[in-house]
Copies of this chain bind each other. A is one copy, B any other.
């Protein structure tokens, strides 16, 4: 016997039960996106490799994290499987920036790829919901767009059954953090280093932190700032700065303290009371975020963030487009599914169910075949059993297990009745049963399906 092949490590086979869960997740993402006025887009699964060097500043480090390959023939090029959707989005927007109606409200549900070794919650192939909103001429409009995208993420998680007890949106604003860096004396060009350090802070031991401070020549004040951040200090509170002996000016009060209050006031009436929390430790790793940044994570357990996003006002320019403010987020299927399972929020049967299950207890199959064709021509989802049994009771159990709304029963007694052939129709929710003359069966089925399920 030949070998049985395995799927590549870090990828998944979607047998029917897993596929039903995947469809349920994707369909929910899509449905809620449309509900908020976003329209769907997509791009190729692979792009020219150089596209992925733009955000990293042209470096080759990113290449080691990509699956990449060459095309053959005259147009020999290096391609890479997309690790995320944002570069494709930026390329597409840059190409048509002037003809697209503003604001651009796009979502996509691409499969994405990482060349790294798989680990729990991080596979080599995953599916990611991407939402982006581009445009906004004023500060107020841009803030509104930040809120619209975050509200979409929360509304979708509410659709999955999560409440404020299950999940938390933690937010920050990079312009606040830049103020903090300024106060401890970092020059502009060291902000990227300081953001990167802040992003990794929670993962470093106190010894590793000291090593970083020494290697990068941090001042005493800068070290105290990071130590207080590591302890969970909140630099929006003016008392945070007392220990650093740094006096707070009006500019700080206006931009940071008032800014945080303004955002809290705007975020609260989004319709999601209790879901939001200011968190000064959130900065998001990626260098391209410019303002509002946020993450959503489960409130219990050790799960990774389910979703993350923020404002990235410079990105479209980096890809050759016009200056176009933008905000958005991504949500992956792997971590979401883990959380849905851990919190028992997956529906027992998330897949589509048939309208009708045909039970054939006659000796021949001609009528059954003909009726199935007739039902499907009437656009009904009609299934049947392929078992040899004519045991109607057992087949009714199969019909219920398949989640069918109705059972259409071809039984010898009714079929051979004087006065013409009859068939039986059973409503599997109400257990109600009726005998219908064969020529009237389609009308009877359509009427039964039009009724609300619990009549």
Binding site for B on A (CB under 8 A): 1-9, 11-16, 19-20, 22-23, 34-37, 39-48, 50-51, 54, 64, 67-69, 71-75, 77, 79, 81, 88, 91-92, 94-96, 102-103, 106, 111, 113, 115-117, 124-125, 135, 151, 155, 159, 269-271, 317-321, 351-352, 354, 369-370, 373-374, 376-377, 379-384, 386
Contact = CB atoms under 8 A, between A and B. Distances in A.
Contacts of A45: 11, 45, 81, 111, 113, 125
Contacts of A320: 1-5
Contact of A8 (B48, B95, B151, B321): B48
B2 A373 contact: no
B69 A37 contact: no
B115 A44 contact: no
A261 B111 CA distance: 47
17 contacts: A3-B320, A4-B95, A8-B47, A9-B75, A16-B39, A16-B106, A19-B39, A22-B42, A36-B383, A37-B381, A39-B351, A44-B125, A45-B113, A46-B125, A73-B116, A73-B117, A155-B376
A386 B103 contact: yes
A212 B15 CA distance: 45
B14 A46 contact: no
Contact of A48 (B1, B6, B74, B92): B6
A343 to B, nearest CB: 21
A113 B151 CA distance: 37
Q: Report copies per complex.
A: 2
B321 A269 contact: no
A44 B11 contact: yes
B7 A44 contact: yes
7 pairs of A and B residues whose beta carbons are closest in the complex? A11-B44, A37-B383, A2-B320, A271-B373, A69-B69, A14-B42, A4-B320
Contact of A2 (B125, B318, B354, B374): B318
Most buried by B among A16, A75, A106, A354: A16
B12 A44 contact: yes
A269 B370 contact: yes
A117 B318 contact: no
A318 B4 CA distance: 10
A115 to B, nearest CB: 6
A96 B384 contact: no
Contact of A35 (B36, B37, B40, B381): B381
A36 B376 contact: yes
Contacts of A23: 40
A376 B44 CA distance: 31
